[in-house]
Amino acid sequence: MDTRRSASTKTSWQQAEKNLCSVRFWCKFTLKPKLMARQSISFTKPNDEWLKNQVDKKEYSSKSELVNDLIRQARKQQVQIDWINAKLEKAENSGFTTDSKEQILKRSKSLLNG
């Protein structure tokens, strides 16, 4: 009776270990990395030629890589623009001057032109 129990326990452990290995295998090989969304976009001829030229010069490995880089740059630039606009709005609302934008621009131009 004890030998049966130890044999069945051993078999259970072996089965559990086998199942665990298959779970590890499944997790490792079935989980897919996040894929980029696919898009179809059209370019004007000059823009398409410029993109091809950049890839041909080995600046980028593909048009997709180049377009993604351009979008990243534009996003960074937008963050900077938003920061500047916030600073300008804060300065405008601070009550430092009561002049309008147009008045400030007119005065700045007159100072530059002499």
| Neighbouring C-alpha atoms within 13 Å toward the C-beta of 1 | 0
Q: What is the dihedral of CA 49, 54, 56, 57, to 10 degrees?
A: 140
3-state SS assignment for residue 102: helix
The residues spanned by each domain of the chain are 46-113
- Yes or no: say if 97 and 104 are a contact pair by the CB < 8 Å rule: yes
Q: What is the pLDDT of residues 55-108, one digit of tens each?
A: 999 999 999 999 999 999 999 999 999 999 998 888 888 877 778 899 988 988
In this structure, are residues 83 and 92 in contact, taking their beta carbons and an 8 Å threshold? no
Mean of per-residue pLDDT scores for the chain: 79
106: its two tokens: 């007119």
E strand map for 1-114: none
More confident residue, 36 or 105: 105
- Give the global pTM: 0.50
Q: For residues 79 and 85, what is the distance between their CA atoms, to the nearest angstrom?
A: 10
